[in-house]
Amino acid sequence: MRAEPARSGPPAPGRFVRPSALSFALWVGAAALLLWSLQTAELSLSRLVNGLPQMARLLGEMMPPATSRLENIAETLLDTFRMALVGTLFGVLLSLPLAVAAARGLSPARPVYYLARALITFFRTVPDLVWAIFFVVTVGLGPFAGVLTLTVDTMGYCGRFFAEAMEEVDTGPQEALRTAGSGRAGVIIGAVIPSALPSMIASSLFALEQATRSSVILGLVGAGGIGIELKASMDMFEYDQAATIIIAIFILVAGVERVSSALRARLI
C-alpha cells in the first residue's frame, strides 16, 4: 500500500510557554489588585435596581426639553467653543518650542530636554479641574481662567505628540541641511517641522476636540462656558432646562468632532 505524501500547511501553533516565577507572581499580583479594586468599588446590584425608578423619574422631568432660553443657551455655547478654540490655539503655539526642547537630537542640552519632558508630564498629570480652580483663584472667574486652563492642557497633550513626531521624521533632509551649513534653527524650520507637520496637524485637531469637551466641564468651577448654566439648572431642579443644555452640548461636541475628522481626511 502506497503511503500518501505529507501535506504541507501552516505550522502548528506554538505550545503554551510556562511563565517564569517572576511573571507568574506579577500576574497573581495583578489579579489580586483587580479583585481588591472590585471589592472597594462598592458595587451593588440592589442599589442599581432601586435607583432605576429615580432615573426614570428624572428622565421624565427632563422631557420635553425647555425652549424658553434657547437664545441664551446658544450664546453661552458659542462662548464655550470660542474659549476652546483660543485655548487650543495658544496651546499649540506654545507647544512648538516646548516640543523642540523635549525632542531627542533637537534639544539644545540634556538638562533642557529633561526639564521640558518633566513640564509636559506635569501639564498632562494635573487634571483640568485642578488647573481651572488654580486659575480661577489667581485670575478670577470667567472665560480667561478657562482659556488658561485649556492652554496648559493642550501644551501637555500636543507637547508630547509634537516631540514624538519630530523624533520619528526622516533624518536625511536634516543631514543635508547640516552639510550645507544650516544651523539648528534652519534644520528645525526647514526639515523637521515640514516632515512632522501632518502628524502635528492631526494632534492639533484632536486637541481641539478634547478642549471642546473639557470646556464644558470648566464652567462647573467658574472658569466660563456653558457648564455653569448646566450646574445652575441642576441646582434649581430645572431638569427640562438641563436637558436642553445637554442636547446643545452634544450637538457642539459632535459637530466639532465631525468637522475635525473631515479636516484630517482632507489635509493629511
Give the global pTM.
0.77
Cell reading at 142: 470667567
Compute CA distances 33 → 27, 36, 39, 47, whole Å.
10, 5, 10, 24
pLDDT of residue 186: 74
Distance CA 156, CA 158 (A): 6
Query: How many Cβ atoms from other residues are within 10 Å of residue 198's Cβ?
Result: 13
CB contact at 8 A, 80 and 216? yes
Distance CA 228, CA 251 (A): 18
Closest CA to 155 of 180, 127, 119: 119
Cell reading at 237: 431642579
CB contact at 8 A, 118 and 54? no
Question: pLDDT tens digits for 190-243?
Answer: 777 778 888 888 888 888 888 888 888 887 777 777 888 888 888 888 888 888
In this prediction, the residues of the chain whose per-residue pLDDT falls under 70 are 1-17, 173-174, 183-184, 267-268
The DSSP call for residue 188 is I
Q: With respect to CATH, is domain 71-267 assigned 1.10.3720.10?
A: yes
Q: What is the DSSP string of 25-58?
A: HHHHHHHHHHHHHHHHTT--HHHHHHHHHHHHHH
Distance CA 130, CA 126 (A): 7
**Residues, the chain, total?**
268
**Where is 124: in which H helix or E strand?**
helix 110-125
pLDDT of residue 266: 77
pLDDT of residue 14: 54
In whole angstroms, what separates CA 130 from the centre of its chain?
Answer: 16
Distance CA 144, CA 4 (A): 81
Closest CA to 143 of 207, 70, 203, 90: 90
Compute CA distances 39 → 47, 49, 51, 202, whole Å.
15, 19, 20, 40
pLDDT of residue 86: 92
Closest CA to 227 of 211, 242, 205, 239: 242
